[in-house]
Amino acid sequence: MKEIRLSGTAKRVLIVVAVIAAIGAGWLWTQRSGNGGETLTLYGNVDIREVQLAFRQSGRVAQMHFDEGDHIEAGARMGTLDAQPFEEALAAADAAVAVAQADLDKLRRGLRPQEITQTQEALNQALAVARDTARNFDRQSQLLASGAASQKTADAARAARDQATAGVNAARAAYSQAKEGFRQEDIAAGQARLAAAQAARAQAATALADTTLLAPSTGTVIARVREPGSMVVSQSPIYSLSLDAPVYVRAYVGEPDLGRIAPGMRVRVRGDSSDKTYQGQIGFISPRAEFTPKTVETADLRTDLVYRLRIVVNNADTALRQGMPVTIKVDAEQAASARAKGR
């Protein structure tokens, strides 16, 4: 094999080329793996945050106060249902509470003084009858002994005396019960009936309040689904509301650059439609990779792994619209500090 000899100039040229190639390879590796000190650039989109507003009750739509494109504040009254059926149900519930309260008050107070007096007089009457029947039985017993009265008459007098004695016992028990009042178990049952009536009344009041649809947050109406006069069922969408705040950006970071970011880091966000820069903060980094290869993860495939992160934009305005693509910049100093801590 013939030996190739190079001149001194050629050797110097080859050395320079080798040095440049080495520098270029190192620069490419730095750019690929994210080990450099340059600003980290990420790409993402503004999150779409919408809510479907609906009545919690079924009924007829009475009013719709906003149209598509209207900007509304939190707590704004957006629509109402026909409230008459719910007002009538609340009135019936109020009446049921009043009845249950009156029954409970009666149980707690016991019988009226006049009713107690009636039971006492009934006892006195029973005692008088008992005394009279007792004297009649004694008299019939004496006549039976002298043969002046029959056994049948004496037996009838005995039965009358016994019935009168039973009447006294019954009247005495009624008088005692009237003085003591109702049992505690009766009062507890009355309290339970009142509580049930009050709970039904609270449900009716809640249903009436639900006839008014309030905005849960500041936002913009992007769809008006129903019109006044429409019959709707519970949870049927009435409006679609795009929420204004907070504004989130969904972005992805490659696996080689994962060590250069951390929750809480400040970032700059900019859209394609203007040069305005928004201030943001990394709030969440997904603990798992997405678009992960099945089982084979060679060194080349591992560089394709990405992790989802969420950025909270602090000074967002109407120019930063939902779904808009944005570019995120992480300062080199922060990225280098995060990587150093990761080591």
Q: Are residues 282 and 197 located together in one domain of the fold?
A: no
Could you give the CA distance from residue 72 to residue 240 in angstroms, rounded to a whole number? 12
CA nearest neighbour of 97 among 200, 188, 187: 200
Q: Give the 3-state secondary structure of residue 201.
A: helix
Residue tagged 């859209």 (tokens): 271
Residue tagged 């730095």 (tokens): 30
Contacts of 132 (CB under 8 A, 6+ apart): 164
Q: Are residues 194 and 253 located together in one domain of the fold?
A: no
166-169-175 Cα angle (round to 5): 140
Could you report the per-residue pLDDT of 261-297, keeping only the tens digit for each?
Answer: 888 889 999 888 888 899 999 988 888 877 644 444 4
Q: Are residues 176 and 97 located together in one domain of the fold?
A: yes
Could you give the CA distance from residue 84 to residue 211 in angstroms, rounded to a whole number? 10
Q: Is the pLDDT of residue 22 over 90?
A: no
Report pLDDT for 138. 86
Q: Are residues 168 and 231 located together in one domain of the fold?
A: no
Q: Which domain holds residue 106?
A: 89-206
Residue 24 lies in a domain: no
Could you give the CA distance from residue 52 to residue 47 in angstroms, rounded to a whole number? 16
Q: Are residues 296 and 335 located together in one domain of the fold?
A: yes
Which of 206, 223, 257 is the C-terminal boundary of a domain? Answer: 206
Which of 243, 262, 293 is the C-terminal boundary of a domain? Answer: 243
Q: Mean pLDDT, the chain, as a whole number?
A: 82
- Return the structure tokens found at 83: 């409230």
Residue 172 parent element (H or E): helix 151-180
- The radius of gyration of the chain from alpha carbons, rounded to an integer in Å, stands at 46
Q: Are residues 161 and 111 located together in one domain of the fold?
A: yes
Residue 3 lies in a domain: no
Q: Are residues 256 and 302 located together in one domain of the fold?
A: yes
Which burial class, exposed, middle or buried, applies to 291 when counting CB atoms under 10 A from its CB (0-12, 13-18, 19+)? Answer: exposed
Q: Are residues 233 and 125 located together in one domain of the fold?
A: no
Residue 57 lies in a domain: yes
Could you give the CA distance from residue 300 to residue 289 in angstroms, rounded to a whole number? 15
Report pLDDT for 57. 95
Q: Are residues 154 and 292 located together in one domain of the fold?
A: no
Residue 292 lies in a domain: yes
Report pLDDT for 313. 92
Residue 130 lies in a domain: yes
Could you give the CA distance from residue 334 to residue 14 in angstroms, rounded to a whole number? 40
Could you report the per-residue pLDDT of 116-134, keeping only the tens digit for each?
Answer: 788 888 888 988 888 988 8
Could you report the per-residue pLDDT of 236-267, keeping only the tens digit for each?
Answer: 999 999 998 889 999 888 888 888 888 888 99
| 84 — pLDDT class (breaks 50, 70, 90) | very high
Could you report the per-residue pLDDT of 306-324, keeping only the tens digit for each?
Answer: 888 899 998 888 788 888 8
- Single pTM value for the model: 0.63
Residue 15 lies in a domain: no
CATH number of the domain that 237 lies in?
A: 2.40.50.100
Percent above pLDDT 70 for the chain: 82
Report pLDDT for 194. 96
Q: Are residues 141 and 219 located together in one domain of the fold?
A: no
Which of 154, 186, 206 is the C-terminal boundary of a domain? Answer: 206
Could you report the per-residue pLDDT of 171-225, keeping only the tens digit for each?
Answer: 888 877 777 777 888 889 999 999 999 999 999 999 999 999 999 999 999 999 9
Residue 31 lies in a domain: no
What's the DSSP call for residue 259?
G
Residue 289 lies in a domain: yes
Q: Are residues 188 and 335 located together in one domain of the fold?
A: no
Q: Are residues 250 and 337 located together in one domain of the fold?
A: yes
Report pLDDT for 192. 96
CATH number of the domain that 332 lies in?
A: 2.40.30.170
Q: How many domains is the chain built from?
A: 3
For the residues 12-24, what does the mean pLDDT come to? Answer: 50
